[in-house]
Each structure stands twice: as structure tokens, then as C-alpha cells.
Structure 1
Amino acid sequence: MTKSLEEVHESVSTQHKKTGFRKILAFLGPAYLVSVGYMDPGNWATDIAGGSQFGYTLVWVLLMSNLMALLLQSLSARLGIVTQRDLAQASRETYSKYINYILYFLAEIAIAACDLAEVLGMAIGINLLFGIPLLEGVLITVLDTFILLFLINKGIRKMEAFIIALVAIIGFSFIFEMIFAEPEIHKIIGGLVPSIPNSAALYIAIGIIGATVMPHNLYLHSSLVQTRKFDRTPAGIKQALKYNLIDSTIALNLAFFVNAAILILAAATFHKNGMFEVAEIQDAHQFLQPLLGTKWAPILFAVALIAAGQSSTVTGTLAGQIVMEGYLHFRIQPWVRRIITRLIAIVPALIVIYIYGEDVTGKLLILSQVILSLQLGFAIIPLIHFVSDKSKMNGFHISRTTQVVSWIIASIIVSLNAKLVYDEITSWLQNSNNPTLLWFTVIPLAFGFAGLLLYIIFKPFIAKFKEKTINHSPHNLKLHFSQKKTQEVKNIAVSVDFTSADEAALNHAFELGGIEAKYTLIHIVETVGALMYGIHVHDHETTIDEKLLLEYKEMLSQKGFNIETELGFGKPAKIIPEIINNGFFDILVMGTHGHTGLKDILFGTTVDKLRHKISIPLLIVK
């Protein structure tokens, strides 16, 4: 099985730490890399707009968004810690090849859109601080690709230290901004009480929530937690989950502080002075000095913006690597991967700024958030399904209460993001010179995405229902076994597939060997995960098949037969001969049936391949 972020996988040891504090410290780090996505430049515009228009009224929206993000990120960390798979790898195991290609494509678009917001944010910060034109600022952002390459080669701890330093710069910048702005504390506390003054406030609130939870962060967190090496015992996993929850709580609360500080700064400066229309980052920077009376206010604002853009783009590029390797099982040189990711974001930004000028940066930021909104459900829904699955999570699945809360949060986020996307498409239709083109391109695409989302939501529930209704249990098959002995055979292999066809195969085997022979029941798991990971797979079907094979053994052993079992993973025509040739069998007995796993037996393809690869007799029973 390919490890997630293989170059830093389990590179940080948490074992042999003598004190509790040192133990916690060893786990701290991954959530800080994730938290910068919650304070990236894409969030700044909605926070500034909310504070300037409605003062402190929408602080509660930020708090609610933070609590939602904390739950979802803890689920992502749980998936990585327990299963040792990131979200992309888990999706690849679960869904078909074509669905995974679509999910990969959507994830890549979301990462590119996120990178676009971060590139623009950094370029705006460079422009505000040094007066460098926006086009040149965008080009300068290419250089941070090499910073990331340098850091990853130095180890994940060095990268975490770099990101934490940038987060500290952002945090300290806004502490001083708060001191300069002198916000009204009682109004901030009042803003924690939920209220929506009007429809415009609702739209801003939707924008804040929509911009808060980033889909690439869910992929990222499930991978980064695997950089810690700890005891893979139930106690060790439980401890890792606890310490990563502490890590997430601290890091995401810092992100909440930054977002709240931006909104409060806008409320204490622009709203207080009757400037209700400030929504652009450049405008906010321009008005800070005259309103607060210090030149340090706009300087710190620009420094924080650059730090936010730099830190966010580092983690966004890492997420791109995780998504490509997880969905496609495809690795390329890290520096090539990072340059490709950066160019995907930079080229559209350069073209649009060159053609339309620097005034469109705000619209580009909004567009990036809409694209992120489209992809969000395709990351959240599978994540909730995975961590709710008892077989996948090996007993560390989330509780029923957590499941209900998670689905409520997913429903809120997906619904609000769907409204945001609907409003944007409606606006495009109203303002477009050629709406027919949109009806034949954008609208069908949106319906296609909606259909795919419904498929991802309901497929696991349907699969579980089928699992209950399919007659899998050997006790339910009501098999009748014969002990008639016609020939002396000592070691017999029998291929079973948990259908009524097994009755004929087993009875013929028992007629050959009787009560004295040794019988080995062979079953091959053919899921996508089994084909990819072999013996290391932990999907639902594998767990069920293991259980059923043991039920066969127990039932037949009680009847006096000497039974062994062998579970294989992959293509039957390849794996069965390997099992046979590595054992000491006298004959292989197989039944014909229509089960998906071995349906090709009906057409002779598996049989033809098998008989050329094994050196013992093969008995096919109808």
C-alpha cells in the first residue's frame, strides 16, 4: 500500500516521551498546517464585508463556522489515524474507477481555485506593502514553490515550525490592530448572540460559512496526522485521537481569533464611521491609516495578508500532492507537482488581470469561493460515511450522536453552498449577453454535479441495505452436506463464494475425501481495495467475507470435518493458483455460479487460466 506523503510518513516519533507535556508536544503540528486554510485571503473579503456592513452582529456566524470546522477536521484526523489512509485513498478503495476520476478532477479544481485566492492575496499584500504592480506580484508567488520544496526536504517538523511562525505573525499583527482599533467589548459579546438583521446579512453569513470549511483541508488533515509514529494498539490509537483533538482545538481557535479580528477591525473602523460599503481588501488597507491614526495599521494588515497567503499556498500545494497520489495512485517528482499546481492558479490570474486590470481581483476571489463551494459536499459526505463505518474504523467509528450532528452540519454547509452557487448562476444568466450558452453548458454541469452528490450520499446506505437482504450467511443457506466417501483423497481445496453453489462443491469434496480428509476453503476478495492493497485492505466486504469464512469453518467443524480457511485478495485466476501451488493439495473443487466475484467461471475464462497454472486435478461442479 502506498503511504500518504511517503517522504514524511511516520517521520515524527511520539514514543518514549517521558512526560505528558512532551507527549502532547510531539503530536502538535498537523492542525496548524490545516488552520491556515481557515484564515486564507479568500476569507478576508467576507469578513471585511460583514464587519463594515453589520458591525459586530455576525461574530456568532464565525463562532458557529469554527465549531463546524472543528468537528469535520476531527473526523478527518480520525480517518487518517485509525485506517492509515487519507480521504483520497479511502475514496479510491470505496468508489468505482470512473467515480474516482470525477472526484479527483473536482478536488484538483478546488485546490486550483483555493490556490488562486492565495496567489491573489499574496500579490495584493506585496502590492500594498511594497508598491509592486499586481502582475509582478503574482509572478513573485512562484518562488514560494521552492520554499516548500526546501522545507519538505528538511522534514515535516521544520515545515510545521515555518507555518506556525507565519500564523504567529498573523496573530500578533491583529493583536496590535485590535489595540489600535479599540473595539467595544460589550458589542463583541452581543455579537455572539445569533441574529440576522436582513437578507443582505444572510447572504454575507452564507459567504462566511461557505468560505470557512475548505475541502482540501479534509484531504490534508487525514494525511498529515500519519506523519506521527505511535503504538498501533487500541490504547495508542485512542491516545493519538485525544492529542490530535487538542491540536485541532488550539489551532482552529487561533484561526477563529484571526477571522473574528478581521471582522471586528472592520466593525470598529469602517462600520463605526459610517463606511458600510467597504468590501475590497485594497479599500480596507487604504482607509486604515486615516481612521486609526497610525501608519502601522495598514503595514501590519499587509504583512498579515502576505503571511496568510504564503502559509495557505504551502498547505494547498501539499493537498494537491495528496489528492493526486490518493485518487490516481500516481507519483511524480514533488517539485514538478508543485510547479504544475502553482501554474494552474497563476496563469488564469495573470490572463484576467492583464485583460481586465487590477479592479477584478475581488470578483476573482468570489469566483474561487464559488468553485470551492461546488466541491465541498464531495469531500464532506464520503468522510462522514467512512468514519461511521464500523468495519472500516475497526471499532473507532463515531457514535450515533456524532453521526447525527455531522449530517446536520453537512446539510447546513452543503445547502448554504448550493444557495451561493445558485445565486451566482442566476446572476450570470441575468447579466450574460448569451444566456443560451450557459443553459447548454453551466446548467447541465450543475445538474450533473447534483446527481453525483446524491449518488455519493445514498450509495453506502443502499449497499448496507443490500448487505442485509442478500442471503450471505451460511446458516441461512440451509445447506445439506453428505459424508459419503467414494475415493481416498487426503488434502482437498474447495473454492467457496457464499452462495447456494457451495453446497454442490462441498458435497462433491466430501464424497472424495470423507471425514478423514483435510479441507481448505478458499475465497478471493475482488474489491477495488483488494486489487490495490492486497492483504492490507480493510474494506467492508473483506470484513464480511472473513466473518463468513469463519462461520463456514465453525459449522463444518461441528459436523466432524477437518477444516482450514484461506482468504485471498485480487483476481481469482491469479491468486487461487498461488494458494494451490504454495500448498500440498491433491485436488481443487470449484462450483459454477453467477456471483459477481467469480462469474467468469460460467464462461470458462478463470477455469482455462487455472488449469494451466496448477499441477493438480481441477473438478468443476455444476
Structure 2
Amino acid sequence: MYTTGPKAAAKADLQDSAPSRLQHLLGPAFVAAIAYVDPGNVATNFTAGTTYGYLLVWVVVAANLMACLVQYLSAKLGLVTGQSLPEALRDRMPRVGRLAYWAQAELVAVATDLAEVLGGAIALYLLFDLPLLAGGLITGLVSTGLLALQSRRGQRSFERVIIGLLAVIAVGFFAGLFVTPPSAPDAVNGLIPRFAGADSVLLAAGMLGATVMPHAVYLHSALARDRHGRQEGEQRRKLLSATKYDVGMAMLVAGAVNLAMLLLAATALQGSETDGSLEGAYAAVGTTFGGAIALLFAVGLLASGFASTAVGCYAGAAIMGGLLRRRIPLVIRRVVTLIPAVVMLALGADPTQALVISQVVLSFGIPFALAPLVVLTSRRSVMGSYANRRVVTVAATLVTTIIIALNLVLIYLTATGAS
């Protein structure tokens, strides 16, 4: 279960607005940011770089800008109302609708967990030649330990560990760029929005689906609420201002890591035979950069799997607790949600194909998270004077429309096999 941060501590932090105190208010967005650098992102970004070079750089940048707005709105909802997004929806939905909404949200959470456990399993296979099933079980065990830390030591301890893993992820994927720097003119040219056929559209939609993830939207509102509680007046204003820094810094790190993945692939791996898999990307990195960089790549992937599966399970608990008012210990939930991934690994399913399927399932859940978030944060009856300004509402509506449209394209092209 999630832990509510001490309100007295939050109040003390808010009373001193000096930059040295800002660090005490940072953290929730960095936990949510793990969803933006999970194994699904690694797979899609490396595929984009090896297949199309710098062509889809603009997708990474655009997705990160969209994520900044979405995650800030989620945190703002939690801080202003004292409710997570699932809780706010629960109070405004009939029982049947609430159960149906919970079912789709849980399906998305399971799909997310599947991709993240597979990523950890693949990393352990690359590092230690462990069977994928054993790697999946170890990934589940480590994430269980992280969740136990959250339950026993509180949210801040959990945040510090997750931020540490985020730093490991960053090192793992930035290392290759110091060996072979990307072409600045080509990277700038990649900022021009364009495609190169239906396959590039499919990949761009997959990149977006792997970036703006439903469970991160649900989770961030709960993280902000649990860390700070509901504040009033001047304290609320200061906290919302600090939250902008939290979101901006976290998304900057996550966006830079995603961009590093694509640039690394575009600079040195374009045209390599990676077969679209994480194993293929690892082999190509080793061939091009040598064993040391390949080792850092695998370690970064492992940290991504460990951190993202723990955060994903945390999000699932926030969804269930918010919509159904039912809470089970996070460790028990971790064991239950691990079962689909373990079964898939035991049956010998192709992990790359499983990752693709998981991204399609995530696409179904995006409208259910984004549309209510925009509507709720735009209503004065919910947010009072902190309701979105017209320009923010228009921007958020546009972002939501673009994300939903691209994910519908992803679903269609995947179902039809169009190219």
C-alpha cells in the first residue's frame, strides 16, 4: 500500500522557498519518469534509429513535450484535490462503469508489467546467459524488494532508489555517444516532422505509445498526493510551482535518455541486423562499440526492467485502491501480476513479439487516462481557481487528440499488417 508523506515536513519545506530547499520537493515526477525509459522505449527507439536513422528524432522530442504537460496536469490534480485520478473518477462514475473502467486499467497495468519483466529477463540473459524464465523470476523478486522498501521505509526512500536506478539507466545509454558522437546537422534535420511510409508511421506510434503511458498518468497524481497531501493557499501555490520544476527536470532526463537511445542507433547502428529485438541491439552495440559499451547497455536495460516493473506495480495498486477502495499489500500484488509474464516465458513465447503486443494493449488504455485528466483539470467545480486556463485546455486537448489518433493508427496497422 502507498504511504502518505508527513504533512508537517511538506509544510516546513514550503515555508522556505530558497533553491536549497527545492530538492526536498523533488521526487514524484522522477518516479513517474521511469515509465518513459522502460524496456518498451529501448526497443522502439533502437528500432527507429537502426531502421530510419535520424528521421524520427522529432517524435522523441514531441513525445517528451507532450509528456511534460500530461504529467504536470496529473500532479496538479493530486495536489489541488487531494485525490488521485482513479479516486476522482470513482466519485463521478456509477458502479458498473467504475468496474469496467477498472478492468481496462488493470489490463493495461498487466501489459505494462509484462513488457518490463521481459526487459529485465532479457538483460539478465545478455549479462549472465540466464534462461529467460529465471531472469523473469529474478526481476520479479528484485521489484518485490523495492516495493517492500516503499512499504517499510516510506515514499522518499523508494524515490531515492528509483532516482539512483534512473541514473544507471542514463549512464548505460549515454556511454556510446561519447565513443561515437552523433552528427549535429543530421540530428537537427531529424527535428522536421515527416515519415517514410506506413512502417515509419507504425514505429512512430509505437514510440509515442511507449512514452506517454496510462499507468504513469494514474500514478503521478497518487505520488503527488501521498508525498505532499492536500495544501491550501500560498503553500499550494508554492508547491505547484515546485512541481513544475520536478516535472520539467524529470522529463528532461527521461527525454534525454530516449534521445540518446535513438541517436546511438542512428549514428553507429543504422542498417545493422538487429532484427528489431533487444538482443539484436545489444549484439550490434557490442560489434560497433566493443564489450565495455555493450556491458553498460545491458546494465542500463537491467536497471530499466527492475525500476519500471516496481513502479508499474505501484501504479496498479493506486488504480485498484482509487477505483474500488480495495487495497492489497504491494508484495502480494507483485506476485499476482508477475504470473502472466512468467507463464509467457515458460511457454517459450518470443519476447520481442510480446513487447509489440504489450504496446498495442497500452494503446487501448491511453484515451481512458488522458481524456478524463484533461476534463477534470479544466473544471472549476473540481479545481477551483486552479482549473486549466483556456490555452492550457486547448493544448492538452490537442495533445490528447494527437496521441489517441496515433495510437489508433498503431492498432490498425498492427492488426492489418500494413506496410
TM-score w.r.t. length of structure 2? 0.95
Distance 1:345 1:299, change over 3 A: same
Structure 2 gap ranges (5+) = none
User: Which residue in 2 is equivalent to 1:343?
Assistant: 339
- Check the 8 A contact 1:270/1:278 in 2, yes or no: no
Amino acid across the alignment from 1:410 = T
Name the CA shift for 1:22/1:339 in 2 (closer, same or farther; >3 Å): farther
Shift, 1:332, TM fit: 2.2
Aligned to 1:107: 105
Aligned to 1:196: 195
- Aligned-residue offset at 1:29: 0.1
SS of alignment partner, residue 321 of structure 1: helix
Cross-structure match for 2:411: 421
* Aligned pair partner of 2:286 in 280, 286, 289: 289
Q: Is 1:208–2:198 an aligned residue pair?
A: no
Offset from partner CA, 1:270-305 (integer Å, 9 cap, x none): 21xx3276421101111222212x211110010000
Summarize the Cα distance change of 1:387–1:65 in structure 2 as closer, same or farther, 3 Å threshold. Answer: same
Pick the structure with more strand per residue.
Answer: 1
Most deviating of 32-41 and 402-411: 402-411
Aligned to 2:57: 59
- Paired amino acid for 1:398: N
Q: Distance in 2 between matches of 1:262 and 1:232?
A: 39
User: Are 1:14 and 1:23, in contact at CA under 8 Å, matched by a contact in 2?
Assistant: no
Alignment partner, residue 240 of structure 2: 241
Instruction: Give 3-state SS (helix, strand or coil) of 1:228's partner.
Output: helix
Is the Cα–Cα contact under 8 Å of residues 34 and 315 in structure 1 kept in the other structure? yes
Partner Cα separation in structure 2 for residue 304 and residue 160 of structure 1: 18
User: Match of 1:81?
Assistant: 79
Q: Does the 8 A contact of 2:317 with 2:330 survive in 1?
A: yes
Q: Which residue of 2 aligns with 1:304?
A: 300
Aligned counterparts of 1:280 and 1:12: Cα–Cα separation in 2: 48
What is the letter of the counterpart of residue 279 of structure 1?
Answer: G
Q: Which residue of 1 aligns with 2:357?
A: 367
Q: Which residue pairs with 1:16 in the alignment?
A: 12
In the TM superposition, what are the counterparts of 1:305-324 in structure 2 within 5 Å?
Answer: 305-324=301-320
Deviation sequence 1:529-588 (CA, Å, 0-9, x none): xxxxxxxxxxxxxxxxxxxxxxxxxxxxxxxxxxxxxxxxxxxxxxxxxxxxxxxxxxxx
Aligned to 2:140: 142
Distance 2:12 2:274 in 1: 56
Alpha-carbon contact 2:313-2:330 (below 8 Å) kept: no
**3-state SS in 1 of match to 2:231:** coil
**Aligned-partner SS, 1:95:** coil
SS in structure 2 at match of 1:8: coil
* Pairs within 5 Å for 1:505-584: none
Indicate yes or no: 2:399 matched with 1:409: yes
How much has 1:62 moved relative to structure 2? Answer: 0.4
**Structure 2 match to 1:261:** 260
Letter in 1 for 2:257: V
Indicate conservation of the 8 Å contact 1:53/1:277, yes or no.
Answer: no
Q: CA deviation at 1:12?
A: 7.6
Aligned residue number for residue 222 of structure 2 = 223
Shift of 1:230: 6.8
- Work out the number of aligned pairs and report it: 415
**Structure 1 pair 229/208, CA: closer, same or farther in 2 (3 Å)?**
closer
- Whether the 8 Å CA contact 2:119–2:302 is kept in 1: the answer is yes
Q: Cα offset for 1:176?
A: 1.6
The corresponding residue for 1:560 is: none
Larger helix proportion of the pair: 2
Give the Cα–Cα distance (whole angstroms) in 2 for the partners of residues 57 and 28 of structure 1: 34
Candidates 27, 30, 35, aligned match of 1:29: 27
SS in 2 for 1:232: coil
Name which of 32, 38, 41 aligns with 2:39. 41
Q: Is the 8 A contact 1:127 1:134 kept in 2?
A: yes
Separation of aligned partners in 1, 2:6 and 2:372: 25
CA distance in 1, matches of 2:390, 2:124: 48
Separation of aligned partners in 1, 2:334 and 2:274 = 38
- Which residue of the partner structure matches residue 476 of structure 1? none
Q: Displacement of 1:411 after TM fit?
A: 0.9
Q: Using a 3 Å threshold, how does the CA distance of structure 1 residues 336 and 242 change in structure 2: closer, same or farther?
A: same
Q: Secondary structure at the match of 2:399?
A: helix
Kindly provide the amino acid, as one letter, of the partner of residue 165 in structure 2. Answer: L
Which structure is richer in relative contact order (CA contacts within 8 A, separation 6 or more)? 2
Q: Secondary structure at the match of 2:386?
A: coil
Amino acid paired to 1:393: M
Q: Which has the larger radius of gyration?
A: 1
State the alpha-carbon separation in 1 of the partners of residues 36 and 354 from structure 2.
Answer: 18
Alpha-carbon contact 2:41-2:258 (below 8 Å) kept: yes
Deviation per residue, 1:413-432 (Å, 9 max, x gap): 111111211222334xx9xx
Q: Which amino acid letter does the alignment assign opposite residue 81 of structure 2? A: T
Do the aligned partners of residues 240 and 61 (structure 1) sit closer, same or farther apart at CA in structure 2, a change above 3 Å counting? same
What is the CA deviation profile of residues 444-465 of structure 1, one whole-angstrom value per residue up to 9, with x for unaligned ones? xxxxxxxxxxxxxxxxxxxxxx
| CA contact 2:5–2:155 (8 Å) conserved in 1 | no
Maintained 8 Å contact 2:3/2:226: no
1:15 positional shift = 2.5
Residue 193 of structure 2: SS of its match in structure 1?
coil
Question: What is the rounded CA distance, in whole Å, between the counterparts of 2:176 and 2:226 in structure 1?
Answer: 36
* Cα distance change of structure 1 residues 6 and 317 upon mapping to structure 2, 3 Å threshold: closer
Q: 1:228 to 1:277 in 2, by over 3 A?
A: closer
Q: How does 1:422-437 map to 2 (within 5 A)?
A: 422-427=412-417
The worse-fitting range, judged by mean Cα deviation, of 229-238 and 374-383 is 229-238
Equivalent-residue separation in structure 2 for 1:305 and 1:177 (angstroms): 14
Q: Output the CA distance in 1 between the equivalents of 2:354 and 2:53.
A: 25
Q: CA deviation at 1:9?
A: 4.2
- The residue correspondences of 1:579-594 to structure 2 (distance < 5 A) are none
Is the Cα contact below 8 Å between 1:11 and 1:227 reproduced in 2?
no
Alignment match, 1:390: 380
Q: Mark the CA change 1:68 to 1:19 in structure 2 (over 3 Å): closer, same or farther.
A: closer
Quick one: distance in 2 between partners of 1:106 and 1:365? Answer: 18
Residue in 2 that maps onto 1:129: 127
* Identity between Structure 1 and Structure 2 (%): 35
Contact residue 273 and residue 280 of structure 2 kept, 8 A: no
SS of aligned partner of 1:72: helix
Contact 2:71/2:247 (8 A) holds in 1: yes
Contact 1:40–1:118 (CA under 8 A) maintained in structure 2: yes
| Equivalent pair of 1:321/1:337 in contact (CA under 8 Å) | yes
- Is 1:251 aligned to residue 250 of structure 2? yes
User: Per-residue displacement from partner, 1:237-292 (whole Å, max 9, x unpaired)?
Assistant: 11111111110110011111111111111111221xx3276421101111222212
Change (3 A) 1:135 1:351: closer
